[in-house]
Chain A
Amino acid sequence: MIKDIIKTIDEIAKTDPTRDAYDYLGKTNTYGDLKQRSDAYAAKIVALHLPAKEPIMIWGGQTFEMIASFLGAVKTGHAYIPIDSGSNNERLLMIQEVSRSKTVIAIDPLPVKIDGVKVITPADVPTVDFEPNPHYFVEGDDNYYIIFTSGTTGKPKGVQISHRNLLSFVNWELSDFNLPAQPSFLAQAPFSFDLSVMSLYPALVSGGKLVVLPREATQNFGELFQVLPKMQFNVWVSTPSFAEMCFLDSTFNGDHHPDLTHFLFCGEELSHKTAVALQKKFPQAHIFNTYGPTETTVAVTQVEITPELLAKYDRLPIGYAKADTKITIDTSKGEVNDQGEIIIHGPSVSKGYLHNPDKTKAVFFKSQADTELSYRAGDLGFIKDKLLFYRGRIDFQIKFNGYRIELEEINFYLSKHPLVKYGVVAPKYTPDHKVRQLVAVVVLNDGVKEQYQQAEIVKQLRESLEKNIMPYMIPQRFVFQDEMPISQNGKVDLKAVIKEVNQA
């Protein structure tokens, strides 16, 4: 059982400094490098004399300097806020505003100047002889990282994950998945997505290795399918959608990836069809379905998808709760017998959203007899034979290609557009319950249709959305209607629109 993430990683650097920790398309860095660079970042941060515990934003992709700066931050008692450099300027500015962070480590060049915020680049951080004082390491209930999710009306919410939260998660992953010793992990998810944590810390605390598949290489199939067949690792971590993309590669199978023994899926529903196809390609591998909101630290349930399980269930279970965590169902929130909202209770539940007591109070709670916090997941589910099953959302949040999207956030910006009278976005689902595309259903203001061509209107709406929301939130399709289902309180009836879109 690991007791301290930072000390454990440093210990490996001391006993085995030449062991590889990071492999970025063949460019490797050792545990010794990791200690040296993270200590250098720590020295730089100490010299800034920041207020204690003030979080530090870290902007970049998936390079080695990113993880070195993460560790540099936590070695000096500061939580880090990972922001992927694929994000737009507005998101960066919004995260700064919400977090009130006064420092950004720009591993990639910053696209925008932020007033009153100090920028540190890797060039400002010379490698020096410095041994950070363990007394200042992040520990206990102090924040270790803060990951921002999207939030309604554009304000993202910062989920605060403490060292204690992270320990609960990491120890579970190391004990309940029967992983090989010193496992090497695929590191594909961007660091701003907490799926990345499923690879990052379990690898580093056990002397394993991260084998990086950077976003740039996954954007273009040509490159992806040149890189992927050459990669060797033990543990695959991704969304099911990403694995499906790899099905296109005829060499994506056990014969060509003999080291690959484990698949860990999280971030969206694993369909029966995908699991069957994967089992055919990798008959020797162990396939795990997992589930958990960012607010409860990456994942809290797991189940191995065996042939027996596939024979028994058409829609796969999401797993058993980890030993230190209790999951209950609030059936007052469900419409079907025994179904209800999933409530998660245990040591990996976050203390709440940074600087947002209202939103925190709405979903986090602690009853008097409890020692641990509980989180209302907003997910609909039920428990049978101790196994948890997922059945959708109780609100208008969806998962699309692994990203968590609040439809109301897109609706907010779409409706604000001067050409639009009503605008809402509906997910269109595949037969196996995955979101295939986002469809914007729009009623235009009077006279707009006569004034512009439809293609011109779509272009204008798209361009305006691009300025305010993440690229993965932009609807693929725009449908124009003369009217919209309106509910009794005078608002657009979202449920009715979603139903219409999925009937067509």
Chain B
Amino acid sequence: MDTQTEVLNILSDLTGEDLSDQLDENIFETGLMDSMGTVQMLLELQDKFGIAVPVSEFNRAEWDTPKKIIAKVESLQNE
């Protein structure tokens, strides 16, 4: 499975919604994601992709759409 599909699977599990055709949807503004959901998301992303999210520099604005999350994961994978 590619990164995009994996990320969307995690998001769909957490929000209960298939976001594959809403890649630019702001998941915080729409209320799909809250802070506890974000914790679960980050824990699962770290687990699934073996990446280390630098949480002390975490800025929600960089993680607020599925597209941005996918891009973040891809760039952290390449580090």
Contacts and interface: CB of A to CB of B under 8 A. Distances in A.
Interface residues on B, range: 20 to 34
Contact of A401 (B15, B33, B36, B38): B36
Contact of A248 (B16, B31, B39, B59): B39
A428 B56 contact: no
Contacts of B32: 476-477
Contact of A241 (B15, B36, B57, B58): B36
Interface string A468-486: 0000001011010000000
Nearest to A245: B39
Contact of B60 (A220, A244, A436): A220
Contacts, number: 59
Contacts of B36: 241, 245, 401
Contacts of B55: 221-222, 225, 248-249
A24 interface: no
Interface in B17-70: 17, 30-40, 42-43, 52-53, 55-60
Contacts of A248: 39, 42-43, 53, 55
A437 B42 CA distance: 17
A209 B30 CA distance: 40
In this complex, which of A241, A248, A249, A462 has the most chain B Cβ atoms within 10 angstroms of its Cβ? A248
A428 B39 CA distance: 17
A334 B45 CA distance: 41
Contact of B56 (A249, A437, A458, A479): A249
B56 A477 contact: no
Contact of A477 (B15, B43, B59): B15
Interface residues of A, number: 26
Contact of A225 (B15, B30, B33, B58): B58
A57 B39 CA distance: 34
A21 B3 CA distance: 50
A219 B33 CA distance: 13
Most A Cβ at <10 Å: residue of B16, B38, B56:
B56
A182 interface: no
Interface of A: 218-222, 225-226, 229, 241, 244-245, 247-250, 401, 428, 436-437, 439, 458, 462, 474, 476-477, 479
- The 10 A-B pairs at the shortest CB distance, nearest first, are namely A221-B58, A225-B56, A477-B16, A222-B58, A245-B39, A225-B55, A248-B55, A221-B55, A226-B56, A401-B36
28 contacts: A219-B35, A220-B58, A221-B35, A221-B38, A221-B55, A222-B55, A222-B58, A225-B55, A225-B56, A229-B56, A241-B36, A244-B39, A245-B36, A247-B43, A248-B42, A248-B55, A249-B56, A401-B36, A437-B14, A437-B15, A437-B16, A474-B31, A476-B15, A476-B33, A476-B34, A477-B15, A477-B17, A479-B16
